[in-house]
């Protein structure tokens, strides 16, 4: 039987302001409720995920980072917005 201990990752994302970090975290929060645990620390979003297989964890992290990239781009699109 395969080893089913969870594989975990912690991702530290640094943004240019606490407000941008908050906007990005809120934007991706609903997408990742059961897959990614997030917390804010100033201008950082700290995300933690775990899965039972490396490929499952990879897919979770890829999806999360893609959503973060879109949220950051959208929040930064309007000059002076954040």
Distance CA 27, CA 48 (A): 17
Report pLDDT digits (tens) over 52-71. 999 999 999 999 999 999 99
Distance CA 30, CA 55 (A): 22
Distance CA 51, CA 59 (A): 10
pLDDT of 82: 61
The side-by-side arrangement of strands in the sheet containing 36-41 is 7-14, 44-51, 36-41
Closest CA to 61 of 70, 73, 51, 52: 51
Let me know the angle formed at the C-alpha of 62 by 1 and 73, rounded to the nearest 5 degrees: 165
pLDDT of 33: 66
pLDDT of 76: 86
Q: What is the value of pTM for the model shown?
A: 0.84
All structural domains of the chain with their residue ranges: 48-82
Report pLDDT digits (tens) over 1-42. 456 778 999 999 999 999 999 999 999 987 666 789 999 999
């Amino acid at each position: 039987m395969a080893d089913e201990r969870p594989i975990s990752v912690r991702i530290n994302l640094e943004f240019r302001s606490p407000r941008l970090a908050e906007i990005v975290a809120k934007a991706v929060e609903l997408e990742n409720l059961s897959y990614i645990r997030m917390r804010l620390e100033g201008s950082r979003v700290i995300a933690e995920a775990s899965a039972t297989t490396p490929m499952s964890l990879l897919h979770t992290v890829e999806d999360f980072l893609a959503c973060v990239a879109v949220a950051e781009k959208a929040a930064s699109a309007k000059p002076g917005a954040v």
